[in-house]
Amino acid sequence: TSISSSAFYSCDSLTEMTLPFVGAERGNSGTYSSVFGYIFGYVTSKKTDYTQQYYASSSYAYYRIPLSLKKVTITDETFVGYGAFYGCTNISDIIIESGVKAIGSYAFAYHYNLLNVTIKGESPKFADSMVFYETDFATLYGYEGSTVEEYAKKRSIDFEILDQAEG
C-alpha cells in the first residue's frame, strides 16, 4: 500500500523495476513523495554518479535514481501525477498498465533518453499538452481508438497500436 522514502537507496545496479505505483502510494500527486525518485531517497546537492529528479514545489529536492535503471513498469497506478517522471533522463522505457485513469502535467517532462512509453489504459485523461514537455522519444504505444492514440496524433508523436488480446 505504500513505499517509504529511500526504500531503494543505494540500489545502484538496478536495470529495471516493476512497481505497483509511482512514488509513496497509489494516486499520490502534488507533493514531493509523488515522484518516481522518492523511493530512492533525497540528496541535498547535485552529483554525477546518478540521475537527479527535481520536484518543482516551494523548495528544491533531488532524488538519487541509479544511472543503470533503464526500464520501469507501473502495474496498478490510477493517476500518474504532476512531474511523476520529470527529468528521469536515464530511463528509456516506461510501461503504465491498464489501471491508469489520468496523467498529470509534466509527468514525463525533460526526459531526453526516453525511447518508448506504453500506456495500456483505454481512456486515461491527459492533463494538457505539457505531459511530455521538452521530451523527445521514439514511440508512444497504446490501444487503437484510445485517448492515448488521440493524444499522440494531436501532438505529432509516433504512435504504435498495442494488441488488446496481449494487454
Cα separation of 143 and 45, whole Å? Answer: 41
Nearest to 95 by CA among 80, 74, 126, 69: 74
User: For the whole prediction, is pTM greater than 0.85?
Assistant: yes
User: Which of helix, strand or coil describes residue 74?
Assistant: strand
Cα separation of 73 and 18, whole Å? Answer: 5
**How many other CB atoms are there within 10 angstroms of residue 56's CB atom?**
15
| DSSP letter, residue 148 | H
**How many other CB atoms are there within 10 angstroms of residue 49's CB atom?**
8
Residue-level pLDDT, tens digit, the chain, 167 residues: 999 999 999 898 999 999 999 999 998 777 888 899 999 988 776 666 677 776 665 455 678 899 999 999 999 999 999 889 988 889 999 999 988 999 999 999 988 889 999 999 878 999 988 999 988 888 999 999 999 999 999 999 999 999 876 55
The set of residues, in sequence order, having a beta carbon less than 8 Å from that of 63 and lying 6+ positions away, is: 35, 36, 37, 38, 40, 41, 42, 43, 52, 53, 55
